[in-house]
Amino acid sequence: MKCEAWFQCIKGCAGRYPLNQIIYRCPDCNSLLEVTHDMDQLKQRSAQEWKDLFKERYRKNEWPYGSSVWAKKELVCPSVDNENIVSTYEGGTNLFWAERLGHQLNLNDLWIKQCGMAHTGSFKDLGMTVLVSMVKQMRSEGKNIRAVACASTGDTSAALAAYCAVADIPAIVFLPRNKVSLTQLIQPITHGVLTLSLDTDFDGCMKAVQALCAENEIYLANSMNSLRIEGQKTISFELIQQFDGEVPDVVIIPGGNLGNVSAIGKGFKMMQDLGIIDRLPRLVCAQAERANPLYLSYKNGFEEFHPVQAKTTLASAIQIGDPVSVNKAIRTLKEFDGIVEQATENELANAVGRANRTGLLCCPHTGVALAVMEKLAARGVIKPKDRTIVISTANGLKFTDFLLRYHAGDLADVNSEFPFQPLELPADHDLIRKTIHEKLSEQIPS
């Protein structure tokens, strides 16, 4: 089957540009581009045929379709050759039924989409596989791309580094100094990627990398490059697959640069267009109060948008004051009866504490989404019977320093509701037995 896709301006300017052209913005109006698919071609397959095809490929071994991104290749990036695909077997991440947490919050149908169960520990792999594959394709066609570069709050750089290392393509990452976790810093280093730690914040790194990539020999890997959005939109495809075609009621997404909320919306719209689903869920974008420009804009009905100076937050991957994909995100939220809500440091940290007590292992950004969910449930916006999905964006193991300090009650502006410390004892059997009995009788059953 022949499928065509191209870059086109999100404001609807007429120009179309091939996906293997190095272009990030509309030459006519400077807006971001998006990948547009020839839907008439795609509609030649029925909804049932698409569903059967995805089911047949799901987590199998035929290259590259076992990856849950490339299983949807026709709907994602049809023009890349299979031998140029750079994949680490993306997606197929667990949908965790949060029964015990949901019970505590009076939500009876609560699920956590564990996007952090990925090769580099965050959902960024989903988009990076598409982008780096296209780079490999362009290099094989003889285009002069010397390196791929990105600015990052930690997870984009980890993903770019790993995929470029797999494909033997040089990469450069720009990180804000002291604003990413130790694990995130070590990821590009261990892959041997040029790592620049700059004395600025993410927004400053973003400006620096855009200036570098204005020379076309260095290809930009940030999500303003809409190839990434195509991969990330498979989160929605996968959710529908995992629920056997049923559409959830509410999907909550932590938002920083606002690419992911746009991507998830795009996935649902595309499935609706193809007849795979018959309605859309409500989307909620969750922001940290300390980096909340979209929340402020939502409060004035999206009339205006003003970038802010992002303040230091535990949710470091969304510490962004001037989000690149803001226009895409606002358009998406308007189409999905969207909500934007925010969470304080205290709220996000305790939401993680509560969730982890029920067997999850959440990162601070997932904490922002969980805290926002708690607020919307308390306000009656999310009803007890609503099927609610929280997008968990990164693996909690990337943020052990945060967890250590949370349980030690050692985080600024956080009053830890679930403190916990290891007991340090001599190896004395009687004392051990006595202490354990005391501790067990102190515990209140929940």
For binding to ligand PLP (CB under 6 A), which residues are involved? 122, 124, 155, 223, 254-260, 317-318, 363, 365, 393-394
* Among ligand PLP, Zn ion, none, partner that 388 touches (CB below 5 to 8 angstroms by kind): none
* Among ligand PLP, Zn ion, none, partner that 317 touches (CB below 5 to 8 angstroms by kind): ligand PLP
Beta bridge partners of 250: 282, 388
Q: Answer positive or negative: Cα dihedral of 237, 242, 247, 250.
A: negative
Place of tokens 């149908």: 109
* Among ligand PLP, Zn ion, none, partner that 256 touches (CB below 5 to 8 angstroms by kind): ligand PLP
Beta bridge partners of 285: 253, 340
* Among Zn ion, ligand PLP, none, partner that 13 touches (CB below 5 to 8 angstroms by kind): Zn ion
> Shortest gap between Cβ of 26 and Zn ion (angstroms)?
3
- Residue (9 or 76) nearer to Zn ion, CB: 9
* Among ligand PLP, Zn ion, none, partner that 29 touches (CB below 5 to 8 angstroms by kind): Zn ion
- Residue (66 or 265) nearer to ligand PLP, CB: 265
- Residue (13 or 166) nearer to Zn ion, CB: 13
* Among ligand PLP, Zn ion, none, partner that 9 touches (CB below 5 to 8 angstroms by kind): Zn ion
Q: Which range binds Zn ion by CB under 5 A, 7-15, 40-48, 127-135, 421-429? A: 7-15
**Gap between the Cα atoms of 165 and 91, Å rounded:** 19
Among the listed residues 3, 5, 9, 240, the single contact to Zn ion using CB under 5 A: 9
Main-chain phi, psi angles of 301, to 5 degrees = 65, 30
> Shortest gap between Cβ of 318 and ligand PLP (angstroms)?
5
Contacts of 21 (CB under 8 A, 6+ apart): 7
> Shortest gap between Cβ of 436 and ligand PLP (angstroms)?
37
Under the criterion CB under 5 A, does residue 331 sit at the interface with Zn ion? no
Dihedral, 77, 81, 84, 89 alpha carbons, nearest 10: 60
**Gap between the Cα atoms of 111 and 102, Å rounded:** 8
> Shortest gap between Cβ of 394 and ligand PLP (angstroms)?
3
- Residue (28 or 335) nearer to Zn ion, CB: 28
Among the listed residues 4, 11, 117, 305, the single contact to Zn ion using CB under 5 A: 11
- The candidate with the shortest Cα–Cα distance to 22, out of 123, 117, 172, 148, is 148
> Shortest gap between Cβ of 365 and ligand PLP (angstroms)?
4
Contacts of 422 (CB under 8 A, 6+ apart): none
Q: Backbone dihedral region of 106: left (phi > 0), alpha (psi from -120 to 50 degrees) or beta? A: left
> Shortest gap between Cβ of 154 and ligand PLP (angstroms)?
7
- Residue (13 or 198) nearer to Zn ion, CB: 13
> Shortest gap between Cβ of 256 and ligand PLP (angstroms)?
4
- Determine whether 18 is exposed, middle or buried from the number of CB atoms within 10 Å of its CB (0-12, 13-18, 19+): exposed
- Residue (42 or 159) nearer to ligand PLP, CB: 159
* Interacting residues with Zn ion between 17 and 36 (CB under 5 A): 26, 28-29, 31
**Gap between the Cα atoms of 370 and 343, Å rounded:** 9
Dihedral, 65, 70, 71, 76 alpha carbons, nearest 10: -150
3-state secondary structure 187-219: HHHHCCCEEEEECCCHHHHHHHHHHHHCCCCEE
Cross-sheet strand order for the sheet of 339-343: 95-97, 110-114, 388-392, 250-254, 282-288, 339-343
- Residue (26 or 317) nearer to ligand PLP, CB: 317
CB 156 within 8 A of CB 124: yes
> Shortest gap between Cβ of 404 and Zn ion (angstroms)?
48
- Residue (42 or 314) nearer to ligand PLP, CB: 314
Dmax (CA) for the chain in angstroms is 80
> Shortest gap between Cβ of 31 and Zn ion (angstroms)?
5
- Residue (50 or 268) nearer to ligand PLP, CB: 268
> Shortest gap between Cβ of 370 and ligand PLP (angstroms)?
13
- Residue (87 or 122) nearer to ligand PLP, CB: 122
DSSP category for residue 16: E
**Distances, alpha carbon 446 to alpha carbons 101, 158, 245, 406, in Å:** 11, 39, 35, 21
* Among Zn ion, ligand PLP, none, partner that 155 touches (CB below 5 to 8 angstroms by kind): ligand PLP
Binding residues vs Zn ion (CB under 5 A):
9, 11, 13, 26, 28-29, 31
